[in-house]
Chains A and B, each alone.
Chain A
């Protein structure tokens, strides 16, 4: 591997890591902070991607579709929380797993009935469709760089929300002791509904942003689910920076795993996870 190739691979790793953070960010909130095992996270990602496809075919503009899609996804999340998840906070994890696994099947079937089983594409918005030449044969799409920037902004925004705002303080307090927060006069139900809806909106946003580069296809949610859990667990449950760091770590492990040990490429990510958990069973950034 010559030096230029090496640098480009580092760029690939960074970019992939940031994309992974984007995908996992919603799960950081819902699983990491609210403590709900949400297997349907991948489905929300898929719904986002299909939403981007449907709205873009209607409006012809991805940016506008995302602007429309976020409130839709947020409202959808709030509705789901009110209908289903609100009844699960006091139950054990197994029941959450059952419910969210059931949701995966329902969402896949609904997707099949309403949108069919074909593969779809979403066009990259014209202003970001250019590529920057990196070497004589390889160039880098501007849209991927844009996604990286959005991811960094999101990470910062989430951190600010959780650590620097009153809402974040209430959420953190609620995740420690629901009853105490409630007895202090905070509407914990509304609070949780907001956080859950935010988690769904983030997953859908990830799907919408990724739609032009990943294409939109049946079963796409399953592909991001496991890796999202890996990231949240490695990062330390409940930590935004931990998740970001874990996503970057996985991005590097995956990229260089594929290049250096291609026969083990599928395994490298999980070896890294095992190593991190042996070293720090609570994840890199476990918050007390």
Chain B
């Protein structure tokens, strides 16, 4: 290669680089000012896959309603399948926070995974919105200024159910759940309200998670003869329990109460065994909320399926994020201002408008629902504007 050629080559390379840099610069500048990077860390495979998808759909539904933008910003998604695996949770959350440098973490369903995520969020001071996981700790002892929740605590629906059980005149109760954190927190919520109203919890039964051999417990319940039974189960275990409870002839003699997860998405599989069951949850079928009617028809049109409580919680996570973004307009994503705006936001949720407690958990109506066919029809408000006690939260 002679000198002349060499110089030409150098010049053209410099020229090319110049063009490339020139082309990239305005793009990069535009992105830095406008985009909000959302890290969706949710289960897309495994037992909770349907829940992760519903939350994602709900979130995107709200963004779509806002014209594909949140507070005038383009939304860029970074998606990680957390597989509901706590062992991989820290690594997965770090991927989003460190590699993708997301502005906000949204997740997840499984409480164990959410606890690990929240630790990453606290350590890295990343904004986090929890669209389902109900572990009391997340807005209790482990609460943090940058961690928000749009779902519930395990305590909330259980407390509401305990209140209703007492109001219905029951004096004694037996509780049964898997021996794991969610179940124990729920049972404590029920007992708080039931004992508070003068009821007596005869026995708190637990079985190893995720065992489904309920027969010995049903026998024990039958011999204890309480006025009411409160259980906390979900998924396959919920279906089996309700069927067994019915087949053992207990359903007609001892009323069964539960948090709504017992009958959400499981009534079809229960056959007739779930008919008439009373449960408490922050969402229900047939709510008289205008927002809910719009949300349901829009969601059904977009995704060709009916929304559920998880879709609502995802939808509200996007709303909560928008209220934070509104506070910083198109400027820098200043976290302090966003948190302040999110704390005082009123979320116009399909479940009915709610605000957040000091610990960043919804202060919401918990509905009493009755299973009819495959629907959990609202029959009233079990506990209005119920706030989690947020025990151990210093904020």
List A residues at the B interface (Cβ < 8 Å). Answer: 1-2, 4-5, 8-9, 12-13, 15-16, 109, 112, 116-121, 123, 131, 133, 135, 137-141, 143-144, 213-220, 223, 254-256, 258-259, 262, 265-266
Contacts and interface: CB of A to CB of B under 8 A. Distances in A.
A33 B181 CA distance: 41
A139 B249 contact: yes
B248 A140 contact: yes
A223 B210 CA distance: 8
A15 B215 contact: yes
B239 A259 contact: no
B35 interface: no
Contact of A133 (B219, B249, B265): B249
Interface residues of B, number: 42
A69 B248 CA distance: 29
B218 interface: yes
B213 A16 contact: yes
B270 interface: yes
A137 B225 CA distance: 8
Contacts of A219: 46-47, 236
Interface in B76-122: none
10 contacts: A9-B216, A12-B219, A117-B47, A121-B270, A137-B254, A143-B247, A213-B243, A215-B239, A258-B213, A266-B179
A22 to B, nearest CB: 14
B248 A141 contact: yes
Contacts of A9: 216, 219
Interface stretch (B130-138, B153-161, B201-209, B321-329): B201-209
A49 B238 CA distance: 17
Contacts of B358: none
Closest 7 CB pairs of A and B: A217-B236, A266-B208, A138-B222, A121-B269, A139-B249, A215-B239, A141-B247
B357 interface: no
Contact of A117 (B50, B210, B213): B50
A65 B212 CA distance: 24
B242 to A, nearest CB: 9
B223 interface: yes
B303 interface: no
B42 to A, nearest CB: 14
B236 A119 contact: yes
Nearest to B220: A259
A133 B207 CA distance: 25
Nearest to B266: A119
Given A214-B236, A219-B236, 5 more contacts: A8-B222, A119-B269, A133-B249, A135-B223, A218-B236
B269 A120 contact: yes
B45 to A, nearest CB: 7
B50 A138 contact: no
Contacts of B239: 119, 121, 215, 217
Contacts of A116: 50
B268 interface: yes
